[in-house]
Amino acid sequence: MKRYDAIVIGGGHNGLVTAAYLARAKKSVLVLERRPRVGGAAVTEEIFPGFKFTMFSYVVSLLRPEIIRDLDLPRHGLHILPLESTVTPMENGDYLAAWGDHDETRRELYRHSPRDAEAYDEYGRLMHFMAQAVKPILGMVPPDPTSFAPGDLAGLLKLGKHFRALGGERLHALVKLMTMSSADFLDEWFETDVLKATKSASGIIGTFLGPRSPGTAYVLLHHYMGELDGVFRAWGFAKGGTGAVSEAIASAARSFGAEIRCDAGVSKVLVRNGRATGVVLENGDELSAGIVVSSLDPRRTFLQLLASNELPAEFVADIKRFKFRGSSGKVNLALDSLPSFSCMPGIGRQHRGAFSISPSLDYVERAYDDAKYGEFSRRPYMDIVFPSMIDPGMAPPGKHVMSIFVQYAPYNLNGGWTDAKREAFGDAVVNTVESFAPGFKSKILHRQVITPLDIERITGLSEGNIFAGELALHQLFFLRPAPGWAKFATPVRGFYQAGSGTHPGGGIMGASGRLAAMRILKDGGGA
Amino acid sequence: MSLRTTPFHPRTGPLSEGQAWRRWAGYVVASAYELSHDREYHAIRNSAALFDVSPLYKYLVTGRDAARLLDHVVTRNVGKAKVGQVLYTPWCDNEGKQIDDGTISVLGEQTFRMTSADPTLRWLHLNSSGLDVTIQDVSETTAAVSLQGPSSREILQLAAERDLSALKYFRLTSAKIRGIPVTISRTGYTGDLGFEVWVDASQAVPLWDALIETGTPYGITPAGMLALDVARIEAGLLLIEVDYFSSRHALIEAQKSSPLELGLGWTVATDKARYNGQAALDAERTRGPAWQFTGLTVDWDSLEQLYAEVGLPPRLPSQAWRTSVPIYDRSGNKQLGYATSGGWSPLLKRYMALAHLGSEHAPGTEVRMELTVEHRRKQAQAHVTPLPFFNPERKRA
Amino acid sequence: MKYDAIVIGAGANGLVTAHYLARAGKRVLVVEQHPSADPSADVGWIPAAVMRDLRLAGSGLRIDEPDPWITAPLPAGGTLELSRDIARSTEAIRRISPADAGKWPEFCRRMRSLAGVLERLYLVPPPDIESNDVRELTRIAGLGLYVRRLGKQTVIDLARILPMSIAELLDDWFESDVLKGLLGALGVWHLKQGPRSGGTAFNFLHHHAGSPIGVFRPARSNITQALSKLPGVEVRRGARAMVLARNGTATGVVLEKSGETIEAPLVASSAPPRATLQPLAIELYPDFARAVGNIKARGVVARGTLTLEPPPAYSTLCIAPSLDYLERAYDDAKYGKDSTAPYVEVQRTDGRVEVHVQFVPPGTHGGLAERVAQILNVRPNQVELQPAEESLYHGELTLDQILFMRPVPGWSRYRTPIEGLYLCGSGTHPGGGIPGAAGRNAAREIL
Ligand SMILES: Cc1cc2nc3c(=O)[nH]c(=O)nc-3n(C[C@H](O)[C@H](O)[C@H](O)COP(=O)(O)OP(=O)(O)OC[C@H]3O[C@@H](n4cnc5c(N)ncnc54)[C@H](O)[C@@H]3O)c2cc1C
Ligand SMILES: Cc1cc2nc3c(=O)[nH]c(=O)nc-3n(C[C@H](O)[C@H](O)[C@H](O)COP(=O)(O)OP(=O)(O)OC[C@H]3O[C@@H](n4cnc5c(N)ncnc54)[C@H](O)[C@@H]3O)c2cc1C
């Protein structure tokens, strides 16, 4: 039987990135994916003939540019196209729009509040600085503040220096971002409610928090990070959907010699004398390897693939405490034609950007209130894009696909999720859109409703949390996924973690996968 | 949805021969109306050039504490200014670094119009807490043209049907041109005799027509930004985001400049109550600024020689440039600073540049400026020259 | 009359500052807007240093440390009473949840050790992380070392727990709604946050500072009264003061009604930072003025008195039956309404019965007293409430407004950009609920 240098469990984009980097370093690598296709939460599937759905994730901004360069992804088909605008329909029939052109956006904001138009520029500059300040941390293995090891102390010192170098004003802004709610943070800048609502929405993505919950300002920043890499618009759309990102990485990995096996779910990691030696597949096959890497979330990685007696009890307790609390759903639609929003009637360039259903802070906060007590939002926050407007190949000519990211849909719904509840959730989404775009419902040809439970069932992401663990302050950096184990190694020798549940966290970023590969190679890489 | 056009656009639009437009504060304005800006430039120095300067940000500040607010913001003493006066002034952050510069027109005891290059409404509001003032953004409702050049006074006198000879440099008056109420200020961005005419946006087109009709016998010439750029360099006038960065936009400390470093020491009052940046500026004045903003003249012989080496006659920039160019000491090894704007003065027949240098380099100091001759990096000899390069008597007379 | 210093406000912190200054030989005047001293109890830990330095022990200071420290009604009837004795509390908890009882001692121990870290931070000015001064850096390093010496668990707890919500913290430990409710209430004290909001675990620990292990309600005292009687400073009551400043320097105060100006080279204000500084905006750089304007000090508490004859048997009664109850109480406040079912706590101190009602955001408060009366099973005319428009802490104790961020980022050393003007009230480090700590730190910084 062939013995691999490394086996990577999970063919999501992070697992693929790890595999590609290891293979690039001349390791023999096998990726084992449970589903018939790679991609995990970054997949494009033709659910209805001719209509390609970006099933889960739908936009890209965080993907590390060094990965694109190192793996030469454009050669493997990656092409990220800009999303040009964000339009927020308001309850009074007006709208707020942010366009690609700065002057145009400024003029639009000026219409709502002259002062906010100016504050917007200043705010943008600050966030740019802040993202710049935090970015090095994304590419850094988090030092452990509890350790007295020279490496950790040096790391802490370096981190301390880095932050002090920011200077007072930015350091304070960083503390605010780390601790405040996005609503409070934005209150310090703006007076226009709909502007605050739309901005704050990016602070709630993937969390079980509302815009007024402290901790959401950090997520705001997390989503700003993509703006740094010289891209004009932060968010882009991958040609062929986010599945094409995974395919490109897979193709790169294969080109370096990695083997990728689909329909090959792993049931256990084999551990002998405290050291990982291979895996057992769901079909019973055993495969052996020098090292094993899991790109699954921490709960699956440690509580499912391993027996608890193989791990320290304290660590198991920490992993059990790790919060998932999935809160997002997805509705994917096949449309006969594009809907016209009454705030900006007709079909036009606005359809090449996003529509944000976040008409007021109270609206978004009330959506959260529903979820807090175990119901899906009756009028949810939604982020809508029309992938076929950016990449016409996503739907048959003249027809369209519509991707609706929805919050909140709590994983722990009162009474549990059922087929009927799923459809009721779908109805709430569609009816809310209809209220901003009358006539929209009549254009729907097919509908796919995805609840957090569906996300969990299909991708394996526990409780359907899109980031493989909430991006809460106490689950970041050296605490992700557990104190003392934030450096991609695990208590089991030869067993590594590489998924979004590790530092720096979720989104199609690839950073976890890359940092894990670096760590593995530093450790000798199984061979 | 495209860029906004100014209230003069019905007239300026058809004049543009090459459709050469430039963005300015969210508006489009002409780079040059003719295919080359030469004639437009010469009009500034020879007859009269008419510029559309409507995109300037304009704020009307009124109320009991209007002067107090402005004094809190800017470095000059607004409280001491008289009605009818116009002040050119920078304004600073708390560290005495320049945020922007513009003019303040004292329209009445409690009425001021402030112009700025960057949007300033929020800054004024932030400074006004607890004060009895109203701040109105009149950028859109007020249009402005600038009439610059030796014949500008004659043309305006005829158009306004009144004697403007008493209107002194940096003073303003209200007047009517063909019945249109306007404010005329003796100000401009060319360093020449010139005026700016402020008018309600709805009357912009008739005002334009009146000025053109009256001015045609005197050679009035609509002119664009390219011609203006040459003139403002000759006049040694700074341009934000080119010659300096707003301290509120700067990414790093080194990108910031103080008015003392920008040669605007004369605008920093020593006789006023607390204002933004005062303590830092007072200290800097005592210490002496580390940098100066000065002129450079590139020596013709040096230029000629550098080109002769490759068998070419000297090449001159056809337009004013706005890039950062290193300046070295006479040995060519040590960098002393950098030039931020430069170009050929068709009038003075010299290659001039505006530069940031350490304050120790006195006028006449020989330096070197980097330039590219046939794809190769060279250094031309230049001399530190006091600003302005061109300062005609008629400007103030 | 010439003064060396004027202190605005005769609350605990103002008076503490005044007395420290007086002891250093300064002639001090305290100006207080209210005509008479507030008879209500001071809730909070009084640092021993304050008592010692100002010799409060012999001055009529009474500190009430009730036992049991809390009484909470149980849904099935009866009450849960927690006492100062951990073993007795554990037994009380065992009757509602054996599992919780098993965890109680360890929970108390862990919280105590975290609160101990805060206590150490609170009796000195906040660390100045921007400083390049060797002494300050050594001090910060010392704090860091101190924390690390407490052990790995404390470091991890600090990093994990401070940003957490009190609901997450308590859910990690306990199952009983009543227990979580009465503990959770301390986490939202004087905050416009619900128990599910991040940072409420910190607020919980803040209010645990100074209390013995296993006691999660601060002591109550008459420190303001006791300080008022202390000789050595002149107190002028019934006079609202505004700071006077010219060209960046404080020159004294002006009294609002009379217009009288009193000059002094040093003014220390224990009034809320915003109220003190906003009228001086013209003397301030706008970024600083904006930071002052941005201080979150949202009023959410109505304090008041209950007329109960005879006085109740309990010393502290807490009506917060579950975390969801508290969360829903907060939900109303988010949309600007009084809680339909508010969190109510009754405190009997020396025969006075006071009540704390939350959440009560600024507004009209229709029916509030009636609802509180109904919850407490008394007549509405027995309840008298004074809703506070602004935070009684002069600034909410959220993570972005503590330590070197309090009262505004970068100005945590009790100084202001105005020469000679200091802040010394709850709006400064370490904040409300610790009467005298800010006042003492400020006085030491001034001296
Ligand atoms: C609805 C939704 C919308 C999102 N929107 C965006 C967005 O717009 N932009 C963005 O940047 N991010 C978005 N995200 C987040 C982003 O998609 C994820 O963070 C990212 O894709 C996670 O990548 P990963 O490789 O770490 O994990 P995954 O993609 O979860 O990959 C794990 C893989 O492991 C496989 N697997 C599971 N169990 C086993 C097993 N036992 N054996 C073998 N294989 C197994 C799974 O099938 C899966 O392929 C979204 C996520 C969701 C769910
Ligand atoms: C009514 C009230 C109820 C409180 N309830 C609680 C509670 O339940 N739990 C708790 O932990 N803490 C409570 N606190 C807060 C707690 O008492 C304080 O943290 C502590 O007393 C320290 O307060 P301080 O001196 O910093 O501020 P304060 O006690 O607020 O004192 C400031 C003083 O300055 C005076 N003042 C303000 N402006 C002016 C001016 N311009 N001129 C003159 N005087 C001025 C005020 O009248 C006040 O007396 C309460 C405070 C008050 C005022």
Q: What is the pLDDT of residue A261?
A: 98
Q: What is the pLDDT of residue A525?
A: 76
**C95 in contact with A, Cβ within 8 Å:** no
Chain A residues whose beta carbon lies within 8 Å of the beta carbon of residue C156: 146, 479, 483-484
Domain boundary among B223, B241, B267: B223
Residue B191 sits in the same domain as residue B340: no
Q: What is the pLDDT of residue A527?
A: 58
Q: What is the pLDDT of residue A226?
A: 61
Residue B115 sits in the same domain as residue B152: no
Residue B167 sits in the same domain as residue B28: yes
Q: What is the pLDDT of residue A233?
A: 42
Alpha-carbon span A436 to A440, nearest angstrom: 9
Q: Which ligand is nearest to the CA of C303?
A: 2
**CATH 3.50.50.60 domain position(s) in chain A:** 3-42+62-76+239-323+467-522
Does some domain include residue B253?
no
**C279 in contact with B, Cβ within 8 Å:** yes
Do residue B121 and residue A118 have CB atoms under 8 angstroms apart? yes
C neighbour chains, 3+ CB pairs within 8 Å: A, B
Distance of CA C160 to the CA centre of its chain: 23
Spacing, Cα C358 to ligand 2 middle (Å): 17
Alpha-carbon span A306 to B266, nearest angstrom: 76
Amino acid at B235: A
DSSP code of residue C403: G
Does some domain include residue B349?
yes
Q: Which ligand is nearest to the CA of C6?
A: 2
Does some domain include residue B175?
yes
A neighbour chains, 3+ CB pairs within 8 Å: B, C
Out of B31-35, B166-170, C306-310, C320-324, which region has the weakest mean confidence (pLDDT)? Answer: C306-310
Ligand 2 in contact with C13 (CB < 6 A)?
yes
Atom 38 (ligand 2) nearest CA:
C271
Residue A484: pLDDT band with limits 50, 70, 90: confident
Q: What is the pLDDT of residue A159?
A: 78
Out of A354-363, A502-511, C194-203, which region has the weakest mean confidence (pLDDT)? Answer: A502-511
Residue B207 sits in the same domain as residue B262: no
* A472, pLDDT greater than 60: yes
Measured between CB atoms, which of B123, B130, B276 is closest to C281? B130
Ligand 2 in contact with C352 (CB < 6 A)?
no
Give the number of other CB atoms < 10 A from CB of residue C45.
24
Spacing, Cα A456 to ligand 1 middle (Å): 10
Across all residues in chain B, what is the average pLDDT? 96
Do residue C159 and residue A479 have CB atoms under 8 angstroms apart? yes
The model's pLDDT over B315-348, given as tens digits with 9 standing for 90+, comes to 999 999 999 999 999 999 999 999 999 999 999 9
**Cβ–Cβ < 8 Å for A6, A235:** no
Residue C364 tokens, joined: 């009209």
Alpha-carbon span C238 to C35, nearest angstrom: 4
Spacing, Cα A326 to ligand 1 middle (Å): 13
* C21, pLDDT greater than 50: yes
| Fold of the domain built from segment(s) A3-42+62-76+239-323+467-522 | FAD/NAD(P)-binding domain (3.50.50)
* C48, pLDDT greater than 90: yes
Ligand 2 in contact with C217 (CB < 6 A)?
no
The model's pLDDT over C114-161, given as tens digits with 9 standing for 90+, comes to 999 999 999 999 888 778 888 888 888 888 888 888 888 888 888 889
The model's pLDDT over C264-288, given as tens digits with 9 standing for 90+, comes to 999 999 999 999 999 998 899 999 9
B neighbour chains, 3+ CB pairs within 8 Å: A, C
Ligand 2 in contact with C16 (CB < 6 A)?
no
* CATH code where residue B98 lies: 3.30.70.1400
Residue B10 sits in the same domain as residue B96: no
Does some domain include residue B212?
yes
Do residue A117 and residue B251 have CB atoms under 8 angstroms apart? no
* A225, pLDDT greater than 90: no
Residue B312 sits in the same domain as residue B378: yes
Alpha-carbon span C115 to C120, nearest angstrom: 9
Q: Which ligand is nearest to the CA of C50?
A: 2
Please give the average per-residue pLDDT across A145-152, as a whole number. 74
Atom 20 (ligand 2) nearest CA:
C435
Please give the average per-residue pLDDT across C204-214, as a whole number. 97
Residue B198 sits in the same domain as residue B174: yes
Amino acid at A74: P
DSSP β-ladder status, A3-9 and A286-294 = parallel
> Which string of b and e fits B132-155 if b means at least 16 CB within 10 Å?
ebebebbbeebbbbbbbbbbbbbb
Alpha-carbon span B36 to C289, nearest angstrom: 50
Alpha-carbon span C358 to C337, nearest angstrom: 11
**Cβ–Cβ < 8 Å for C151, C109:** no
Phi, psi of B21 (to 5 degrees): -115, 160
From residue A412, give the alpha-carbon distance in Å to each of A183, A372, A453. Answer: 26, 10, 9
* CATH code where residue B380 lies: 2.40.30.110
Please give the average per-residue pLDDT across A75-87, as a whole number. 92
Owning domain of residue B146: 4-56+140-223
Q: What is the pLDDT of residue A440?
A: 98
Placement of tokens 């595999």 in the chain: A19
**C290 in contact with B, Cβ within 8 Å:** yes
Chain B residues whose beta carbon lies within 8 Å of the beta carbon of residue C289: 126, 129
Placement of tokens 């950009």 in the chain: C417
A271 vs A2 pLDDT, higher one: A271
Q: What is the pLDDT of residue A240?
A: 96
Nearest Cα neighbor of A511 from A229, A268, A254 is A229
Placement of tokens 């992938």 in the chain: A387
**Cβ–Cβ < 8 Å for C265, C420:** yes
Residue to test with chain C: of A156, A162, A171, A175, most C Cβ within 10 A: A175
* CATH code where residue B186 lies: 3.30.1360.120
What are the beta bridge partners of residue A268?
A: A280
For B125, the closest chain C residue by CA position comes to C286
Ligand 1 atom having least distance to the Cα of A16: 25
Residue B354 sits in the same domain as residue B366: yes
The model's pLDDT over B297-315, given as tens digits with 9 standing for 90+, comes to 999 999 999 999 999 999 9
Residue B60 tokens, joined: 């009307």
Give the number of other CB atoms < 10 A from CB of residue B196.
25
Atom 17 (ligand 2) nearest CA:
C42
* C301, pLDDT greater than 90: yes
Alpha-carbon span B175 to B197, nearest angstrom: 10
- Ligand 1 probe mutation, A32, A262, A295, A470, most atoms within 8 A of CB: A295
A402 vs A100 pLDDT, higher one: A402
Nearest Cα neighbor of A53 from A463, A331, A258, A440 is A331
Ligand 2 in contact with C426 (CB < 6 A)?
yes
Measured between CB atoms, which of A146, A179, A479 is closest to C152? A146
> Which string of b and e fits A133-162 if b means at least 16 CB within 10 Å?
bbbebbebbbbbbbbeeeebeebbeebeee
Q: Which ligand is nearest to the CA of C31?
A: 2
Across all residues in chain A, what is the average pLDDT? 92
Ligand 1 atom having least distance to the Cα of A63: 11
SS3 B373: strand
Do residue C282 and residue B276 have CB atoms under 8 angstroms apart? no
Q: B279 to chain C, minimum CA–CA distance in Å?
A: 10
Spacing, Cα C269 to ligand 2 middle (Å): 12
Q: What is the pLDDT of residue A219?
A: 82
Give the number of other CB atoms < 10 A from CB of residue C291.
22
Do residue B122 and residue A119 have CB atoms under 8 angstroms apart? yes
**Where would I find the H helices in C385-436?**
none
Residue B211 sits in the same domain as residue B165: yes
Q: What is the pLDDT of residue A231?
A: 42
Residue B207 tokens, joined: 């005002």
SS3 B339: strand
Phi, psi of B196 (to 5 degrees): -120, 140
Residue B167 sits in the same domain as residue B155: yes
For B95, the closest chain C residue by CA position comes to C285
Alpha-carbon span C278 to C259, nearest angstrom: 19
Dihedral angle computed from the Cα positions of residues C45, C50, C51 and C52, in that order, rounded to the nearest 10 degrees: 140
DSSP code of residue A206: T
**Cβ–Cβ < 8 Å for C373, C305:** no
**A99 in contact with B, Cβ within 8 Å:** yes
Ligand 2 atom having least distance to the Cα of C427: 26
| Radius of gyration of the CA atoms of chain A, in A | 22
* A149, pLDDT greater than 80: no
Chain A residues whose beta carbon lies within 8 Å of the beta carbon of residue B140: none
Residue A231 tokens, joined: 């891209």
Per the structure, the count of domains in chain B is 3
Q: C44 to chain A, minimum CA–CA distance in Å?
A: 25
For B1, the closest chain A residue by CA position comes to A104
* A442, pLDDT greater than 70: yes
* A479, pLDDT greater than 90: no
Residues with CB under 6 A from ligand 1: A 9-15, 32-35, 40-42, 56-60, 62, 265-266, 295-296, 328, 330, 405, 455, 459-461, 466-468, 499-500, 506-508
Residue C251 tokens, joined: 């020159």
Q: What is the pLDDT of residue B1?
A: 52
Residue B31 sits in the same domain as residue B156: yes
Spacing, Cα A506 to ligand 1 middle (Å): 9
Q: What is the pLDDT of residue B2?
A: 64
Measured between CB atoms, which of C156, C197, C290 is closest to A214? C197
Give the number of other CB atoms < 10 A from CB of residue B163.
9
Does some domain include residue B230?
no
Do residue C247 and residue B274 have CB atoms under 8 angstroms apart? yes
Ligand 1 atom having least distance to the Cα of A267: 41
The model's pLDDT over B369-378, given as tens digits with 9 standing for 90+, comes to 999 999 999 9
Residue B183 sits in the same domain as residue B35: yes
Share of chain A above pLDDT 70, in %: 97
Phi, psi of B20 (to 5 degrees): -95, 100
